[in-house]
Chain A
Amino acid sequence: DVQLVESGGALVQPGGSVRLSCAASGFTFTSYGYSWVRQAPGKGLEWVSGISVSGGNKFYADSVKGRFTISRDISKNMVFLQMDSLRAGDTAIYYCAKEEVTEVGAFNYYYKYMDVWGIGTTVTVSS
Protein backbone atom coordinates (compact mmCIF):
# COMPACT_ATOMS: atom_id res chain seq x y z
CA ASP A 1 0.00 0.00 0.00
CA VAL A 2 1.12 3.52 -0.77
CA GLN A 3 1.70 5.17 2.59
CA LEU A 4 3.15 8.29 4.16
CA VAL A 5 3.70 8.46 7.91
CA GLU A 6 4.71 11.67 9.64
CA SER A 7 6.49 11.92 12.98
CA GLY A 8 8.39 14.41 15.09
CA GLY A 9 5.56 16.64 16.21
CA ALA A 10 6.11 18.19 19.63
CA LEU A 11 5.35 20.95 22.09
CA VAL A 12 7.99 23.63 21.48
CA GLN A 13 8.68 27.01 23.00
CA PRO A 14 8.54 30.12 20.83
CA GLY A 15 11.86 30.58 19.10
CA GLY A 16 12.58 26.87 19.28
CA SER A 17 13.13 24.26 16.59
CA VAL A 18 11.66 20.93 15.58
CA ARG A 19 12.32 18.50 12.73
CA LEU A 20 9.42 16.67 11.18
CA SER A 21 9.90 13.40 9.30
CA CYS A 22 7.78 11.69 6.68
CA ALA A 23 8.41 8.04 5.92
CA ALA A 24 7.27 6.83 2.51
CA SER A 25 6.50 3.25 1.52
CA GLY A 26 4.73 1.24 -1.15
CA PHE A 27 6.07 3.15 -4.16
CA THR A 28 9.29 4.34 -5.80
CA PHE A 29 10.31 7.24 -3.58
CA THR A 30 12.62 8.92 -6.07
CA SER A 31 9.94 9.19 -8.76
CA TYR A 32 7.93 11.85 -6.95
CA GLY A 33 8.08 15.27 -5.35
CA TYR A 34 6.65 15.97 -1.91
CA SER A 35 4.92 18.78 -0.07
CA TRP A 36 4.15 19.75 3.49
CA VAL A 37 0.74 21.23 4.24
CA ARG A 38 -0.45 22.47 7.63
CA GLN A 39 -3.77 23.09 9.30
CA ALA A 40 -4.04 25.36 12.33
CA PRO A 41 -6.73 24.43 14.88
CA GLY A 42 -10.16 25.04 13.39
CA LYS A 43 -8.70 26.59 10.24
CA GLY A 44 -8.25 25.69 6.59
CA LEU A 45 -5.31 24.11 4.81
CA GLU A 46 -2.09 26.02 4.12
CA TRP A 47 0.60 24.73 1.77
CA VAL A 48 3.98 25.19 3.48
CA SER A 49 6.77 23.76 1.34
CA GLY A 50 7.57 21.46 -1.55
CA ILE A 51 10.57 19.58 -2.95
CA SER A 52 10.91 18.52 -6.58
CA VAL A 53 11.37 15.03 -7.98
CA SER A 54 15.09 15.63 -8.36
CA GLY A 55 15.36 17.21 -4.94
CA GLY A 56 17.08 20.15 -6.56
CA ASN A 57 14.18 22.58 -6.39
CA LYS A 58 12.59 23.64 -3.13
CA PHE A 59 9.63 25.92 -2.65
CA TYR A 60 8.25 27.73 0.39
CA ALA A 61 5.27 29.77 1.50
CA ASP A 62 6.19 33.34 2.35
CA SER A 63 5.06 32.72 5.93
CA VAL A 64 7.87 30.20 6.51
CA LYS A 65 10.57 31.28 4.07
CA GLY A 66 13.91 31.65 5.83
CA ARG A 67 12.71 29.68 8.87
CA PHE A 68 11.74 26.26 7.46
CA THR A 69 13.86 23.94 5.32
CA ILE A 70 12.61 20.96 3.35
CA SER A 71 14.93 18.07 2.50
CA ARG A 72 14.88 14.39 1.69
CA ASP A 73 17.01 11.27 2.21
CA ILE A 74 16.61 8.87 -0.70
CA SER A 75 18.49 6.12 1.18
CA LYS A 76 15.78 6.15 3.85
CA ASN A 77 12.77 7.07 1.69
CA MET A 78 12.11 10.02 3.95
CA VAL A 79 11.21 13.68 3.64
CA PHE A 80 11.98 16.20 6.37
CA LEU A 81 10.85 19.64 7.43
CA GLN A 82 13.30 21.50 9.65
CA MET A 83 11.38 24.22 11.45
CA ASP A 84 13.36 26.98 13.17
CA SER A 85 12.43 30.25 14.91
CA LEU A 86 9.01 28.86 15.65
CA ARG A 87 6.10 31.15 16.44
CA ALA A 88 2.69 30.61 18.00
CA GLY A 89 1.21 30.96 14.51
CA ASP A 90 3.06 27.81 13.42
CA THR A 91 0.90 25.70 15.73
CA ALA A 92 -0.84 23.19 13.47
CA ILE A 93 -1.18 19.65 12.25
CA TYR A 94 1.47 19.12 9.59
CA TYR A 95 0.72 16.76 6.71
CA CYS A 96 3.16 15.28 4.25
CA ALA A 97 1.83 14.69 0.73
CA LYS A 98 3.14 12.91 -2.35
CA GLU A 99 2.94 14.84 -5.60
CA GLU A 100 1.75 13.29 -8.84
CA VAL A 101 2.80 14.96 -12.08
CA THR A 102 -0.16 15.59 -14.39
CA GLU A 103 1.55 17.52 -17.15
CA VAL A 104 4.88 19.02 -18.20
CA GLY A 105 4.44 22.54 -19.44
CA ALA A 106 6.63 25.12 -21.10
CA PHE A 107 10.23 25.40 -19.95
CA ASN A 108 9.94 21.96 -18.34
CA TYR A 109 7.55 23.22 -15.65
CA TYR A 110 5.95 20.27 -13.87
CA TYR A 111 2.27 20.61 -12.95
CA LYS A 112 1.72 18.39 -9.92
CA TYR A 113 -1.06 17.74 -7.46
CA MET A 114 -1.06 16.11 -4.05
CA ASP A 115 -2.56 12.66 -4.49
CA VAL A 116 -1.60 10.83 -1.29
CA TRP A 117 -1.48 12.33 2.20
CA GLY A 118 -0.12 11.15 5.51
CA ILE A 119 -2.11 11.18 8.74
CA GLY A 120 -0.31 14.24 10.10
CA THR A 121 1.76 15.17 13.12
CA THR A 122 1.00 17.98 15.57
CA VAL A 123 3.30 20.87 16.38
CA THR A 124 2.33 23.15 19.24
CA VAL A 125 4.33 26.31 19.83
CA SER A 126 3.69 27.65 23.31
CA SER A 127 5.55 28.76 26.40
Chain B
Amino acid sequence: EIQMTQSPSSVSASVGDTVTITCRASQDINKYLAWFQQKPGKAPKSLIYGGSNLQSGVPSKFSGSGSGTEFTLTISSLQPEDFATYHCQQYYSYPWTFGQGTRVEVK
Protein backbone atom coordinates (compact mmCIF):
# COMPACT_ATOMS: atom_id res chain seq x y z
CA GLU B 1 0.00 0.00 0.00
CA ILE B 2 1.28 3.44 -0.96
CA GLN B 3 1.45 5.86 1.97
CA MET B 4 0.61 9.50 1.31
CA THR B 5 1.89 12.17 3.68
CA GLN B 6 0.72 15.77 3.59
CA SER B 7 2.42 18.73 5.20
CA PRO B 8 1.64 20.81 7.02
CA SER B 9 -1.34 19.31 8.87
CA SER B 10 -2.72 22.81 9.23
CA VAL B 11 -1.77 26.29 8.12
CA SER B 12 -3.00 29.69 9.25
CA ALA B 13 -3.26 32.32 6.57
CA SER B 14 -4.92 35.64 5.80
CA VAL B 15 -7.14 36.70 2.92
CA GLY B 16 -4.89 37.51 -0.03
CA ASP B 17 -2.10 35.17 1.03
CA THR B 18 -0.64 32.36 -1.08
CA VAL B 19 -0.55 28.92 0.53
CA THR B 20 1.43 25.85 -0.57
CA ILE B 21 0.64 22.32 0.59
CA THR B 22 2.98 19.38 0.01
CA CYS B 23 2.03 15.76 -0.55
CA ARG B 24 4.63 12.99 -0.57
CA ALA B 25 4.16 9.42 -1.73
CA SER B 26 6.03 6.48 -0.23
CA GLN B 27 6.89 5.30 -3.75
CA ASP B 28 6.87 6.65 -7.31
CA ILE B 29 3.29 7.32 -8.43
CA ASN B 30 4.25 9.07 -11.69
CA LYS B 31 1.68 11.87 -12.17
CA TYR B 32 -1.34 10.02 -10.82
CA LEU B 33 -2.30 12.33 -8.00
CA ALA B 34 -5.52 14.19 -7.31
CA TRP B 35 -6.36 17.05 -4.95
CA PHE B 36 -9.71 17.63 -3.28
CA GLN B 37 -11.19 20.48 -1.28
CA GLN B 38 -13.58 19.74 1.56
CA LYS B 39 -15.57 22.24 3.59
CA PRO B 40 -17.11 21.35 6.97
CA GLY B 41 -20.16 19.13 6.65
CA LYS B 42 -19.77 18.88 2.87
CA ALA B 43 -18.55 16.27 0.41
CA PRO B 44 -15.09 16.57 -1.10
CA LYS B 45 -14.82 18.48 -4.36
CA SER B 46 -12.34 17.61 -7.09
CA LEU B 47 -9.75 20.33 -7.80
CA ILE B 48 -6.85 18.80 -9.69
CA TYR B 49 -6.02 15.48 -11.34
CA GLY B 50 -2.90 14.16 -13.00
CA GLY B 51 -0.84 16.22 -10.60
CA SER B 52 -1.42 19.50 -12.43
CA ASN B 53 -4.64 19.40 -14.46
CA LEU B 54 -7.41 21.66 -13.26
CA GLN B 55 -10.85 20.09 -12.93
CA SER B 56 -13.40 21.85 -15.14
CA GLY B 57 -14.88 24.87 -13.39
CA VAL B 58 -12.10 25.21 -10.80
CA PRO B 59 -10.54 28.68 -10.76
CA SER B 60 -6.95 29.12 -11.91
CA LYS B 61 -5.93 30.36 -8.46
CA PHE B 62 -5.50 26.66 -7.71
CA SER B 63 -2.45 25.04 -9.23
CA GLY B 64 -0.72 21.72 -8.81
CA SER B 65 2.75 20.52 -9.65
CA GLY B 66 5.06 17.59 -9.14
CA SER B 67 5.58 14.03 -10.22
CA GLY B 68 7.14 10.89 -8.83
CA THR B 69 6.96 11.16 -5.07
CA GLU B 70 6.57 14.88 -4.35
CA PHE B 71 3.64 17.10 -5.25
CA THR B 72 2.41 20.54 -4.28
CA LEU B 73 -0.91 22.36 -4.30
CA THR B 74 -0.70 26.14 -4.39
CA ILE B 75 -3.63 28.41 -3.65
CA SER B 76 -3.01 32.02 -4.57
CA SER B 77 -4.84 35.11 -3.35
CA LEU B 78 -6.79 33.27 -0.64
CA GLN B 79 -10.43 34.25 -0.36
CA PRO B 80 -12.85 33.46 2.48
CA GLU B 81 -14.36 30.57 0.48
CA ASP B 82 -10.94 28.90 0.19
CA PHE B 83 -10.61 28.20 3.90
CA ALA B 84 -11.19 24.45 3.99
CA THR B 85 -9.40 21.11 4.28
CA TYR B 86 -7.40 19.86 1.31
CA HIS B 87 -6.72 16.18 0.61
CA CYS B 88 -4.31 14.54 -1.81
CA GLN B 89 -4.95 11.06 -3.18
CA GLN B 90 -2.95 8.68 -5.36
CA TYR B 91 -4.65 6.64 -8.06
CA TYR B 92 -1.51 4.98 -9.39
CA SER B 93 -2.36 1.62 -7.84
CA TYR B 94 -4.96 -0.05 -5.65
CA PRO B 95 -5.73 0.40 -2.87
CA TRP B 96 -6.11 4.11 -3.57
CA THR B 97 -4.84 6.11 -0.61
CA PHE B 98 -5.28 9.62 0.73
CA GLY B 99 -3.07 11.96 2.66
CA GLN B 100 -4.28 12.87 6.14
CA GLY B 101 -5.53 16.28 5.01
CA THR B 102 -4.35 19.86 5.46
CA ARG B 103 -6.62 22.39 7.12
CA VAL B 104 -6.28 25.95 5.84
CA GLU B 105 -7.62 28.24 8.51
CA VAL B 106 -7.97 31.96 9.08
CA LYS B 107 -5.07 33.60 10.86
Contact = CB atoms under 8 A, between A and B. Distances in A.
Interface of A: 35, 37, 44-47, 50, 59-62, 95, 100, 102-103, 111-120
Contact of B95 (A59, A117, A119): A59
Nearest to A97: B44
Interface in B59-93: 87, 89, 91-92
Given A47-B95, A60-B95, A113 B101 contact: no
B105 to A, nearest CB: 15
The interface size bin for chain B is 20 to 34
Interface of B is mostly: loop
B43 A117 contact: yes
Contact of A95 (B1, B44, B92): B44
Interface of B: 1, 32, 34, 36, 38, 42-46, 49-50, 53, 55, 87, 89, 91-92, 94-101
B34 A113 contact: yes
B44 A111 contact: no
A47 B46 contact: no
A59 B91 CA distance: 12
A116 B53 CA distance: 15
Contact of A111 (B1, B91, B100): B91
Contacts of A35: 96
